[in-house]
């Protein structure tokens, strides 16, 4: 058992005590949910907007550039899979240790997460450098031009070299979110993404004395932004003013028991991420077979979809943090109340997003490309997503809450059913049998989200998560 918390509370810790999970009134509970959600929502929306701006900048080079950047999306997510999985454990454990009042335990989680990040980064990035080219060729499937594949390979390799720095940022931000410090992660990512956009402008087009690197320039700009994010995140935990305090001497100490706790959640989450990435890569091969224009339209739609999805992710951050802290304090009743209230608030925002996507989708897609076919196809796909958006976000909140409780195994089952079975099966039938083209692709996405939502609700209501003990 770790030692007690420090006797003298900092100003930040005093504020934490004033905004407590055991708030008496419904209004205070909503205030707490919003205080956790708005920075995460701002961060996600900001990052998605930056991604949109970057795609728009790249789009000025032509549809080939949109497809090239889009082609590396799933391989990049595959690169991130192990770190997303590990950080699921990091967030859940920090949240529960904080709920239990164990500051040293929370800091031990951060230290061991950074050690794991270094080991995984060296291993995975080496493997990706070796297999990047055959992976992209497989995804292109003969449906995309050689120029697109070549540009995508250049972009991806630059990302791989810069990825180890990003993994440390992931680990620190995951710990901060578990501690409820969503504002801090928003601020450092906001600055980093502004740097990203500025460097995009300089390196894609060759402005202000910088070389014109086009697609490669967009990748270099992303890496520079990631370095800024790391410096800012590191400074937060080194100063130790926001609950977590990183001491460099502790990075030389491996705590196998804590690593085991992280991996007990991380390994099932890793299987989930691998399933999602393999399924998504398979799904991408179905889309690329439709040709360059359809794939470019698909990537524009997916880029905008990520902005809408950020609503569910933000409320999901609040659900993970609050669920973990309530369980750490052994207040299952409060955990249920917070999940219910988070769902209601998430639905209100989701309906606004649905309205915007359905009625203004064509205007938004017009920012990406001047090709009318791409604009029309993308706008139609956004109408499909607009209808299912409230379900997607509700599903994300339930799943995030279950992760906060440490219930990671069933999430892998949900991903397998949705991404490996439902999504590709529906896509193959709707595209090849009913000849629905890109519409069939997005209807298959809708089927995946709907079925996985039903499974997540079923798991939550069975309440097996109330009997887990991950500390």
The dihedral sign for the CA sequence 88, 237, 261, 458: negative
Take residue 461 and report the two structure tokens written for it: 């209501």
pLDDT for 138 equals 81
Q: Identify the CA nearest to 238 among candidates 434, 421, 374, 107.
A: 107
C-alpha separations of 86 from 114, 127, 176, 244, 349 in Å? 10, 18, 14, 18, 29
Q: What is the pTM of this model?
A: 0.70
Instruction: Classify residue 133 as exposed, middle or buried by CB count within 10 Å of its CB (0-12, 13-18, 19+).
Output: middle
* 343 DSSP 8-state letter: H
Q: Please identify every stretch of the chain with a pLDDT value under 50, giving residue numbers as ranges.
A: 1-19
| 327 close to 91: Cβ distance less than 8 angstroms | no
The pLDDT score that the predictor gives to residue 193 is: 82
Phi-psi label, residue 19: left if phi above 0, alpha if psi -120 to 50, beta otherwise: beta
């Amino acid at each position: 058992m770790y030692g007690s918390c420090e006797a003298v509370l900092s100003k930040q810790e005093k504020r934490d005590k004033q905004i407590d999970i055991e708030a008496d009134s419904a209004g205070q509970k909503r205030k707490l949910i919003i205080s956790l959600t708005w920075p995460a929502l701002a961060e996600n929306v900001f990052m998605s907007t930056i991604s949109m701006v970057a795609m728009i900048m790249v789009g000025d080079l032509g549809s080939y550039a949109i497809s090239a950047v889009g082609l590396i999306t799933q391989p990049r997510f595959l690169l991130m899979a192990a770190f997303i999985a590990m950080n699921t454990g990091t967030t859940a454990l920090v949240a529960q240790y904080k709920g239990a009042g164990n500051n040293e335990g929370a800091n031990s989680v951060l230290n061991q997460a950074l050690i794991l990040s270094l080991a995984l980064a060296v291993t995975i990035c080496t493997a990706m450098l070796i297999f990047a080219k055959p992976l992209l060729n497989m995804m292109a499937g003969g449906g995309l031009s050689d120029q697109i594949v070549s540009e995508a390979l250049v972009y991806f390799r630059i990302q791989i070299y810069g990825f180890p720095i990003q993994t440390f940022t992931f680990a620190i931000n995951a710990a901060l979110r578990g501690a409820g410090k969503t504002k801090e992660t928003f601020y450092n990512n906001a600055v980093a993404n502004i740097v990203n956009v500025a460097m995009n402008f300089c390196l894609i087009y060759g402005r202000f004395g910088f070389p014109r690197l086009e697609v490669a320039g967009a990748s270099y700009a992303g890496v520079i932004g990631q370095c800024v994010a790391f410096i800012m995140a590191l400074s937060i935990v080194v100063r130790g003013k926001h609950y977590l305090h990183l001491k460099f001497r502790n990075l030389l100490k491996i705590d196998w028991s804590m690593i085991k706790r992280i991996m007990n959640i991380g390994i099932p989450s890793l299987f989930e991420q691998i399933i999602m990435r393999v399924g998504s890569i398979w799904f991408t091969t179905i889309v690329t077979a439709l040709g360059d224009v359809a794939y470019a339209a698909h990537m524009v739609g997916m880029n905008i979809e990520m902005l809408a999805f950020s609503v569910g992710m933000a409320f999901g951050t609040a659900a993970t943090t609050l669920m973990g802290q309530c369980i750490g304090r052994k207040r299952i009743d409060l955990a249920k109340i917070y999940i219910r209230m988070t769902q209601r608030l998430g639905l209100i925002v989701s309906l606004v997003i649905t309205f915007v996507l359905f009625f203004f989708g064509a205007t938004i897609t017009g920012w990406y490309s001047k090709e009318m076919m791409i604009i029309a196809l993308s706008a139609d796909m956004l109408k499909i997503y607009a209808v299912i958006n409230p379900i997607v976000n509700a599903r994300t909140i339930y799943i995030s809450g279950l992760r906060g409780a440490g219930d990671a195994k069933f999430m892998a089952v949900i991903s397998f059913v949705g991404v490996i079975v439902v999504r590709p099966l529906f896509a193959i039938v709707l595209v090849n049998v009913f000849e629905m083209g890109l519409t069939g692709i997005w209807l298959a996405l809708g089927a995946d989200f709907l079925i996985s939502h039903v499974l997540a609700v079923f798991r939550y209501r069975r309440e097996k998560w109330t009997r887990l003990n991950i500390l």
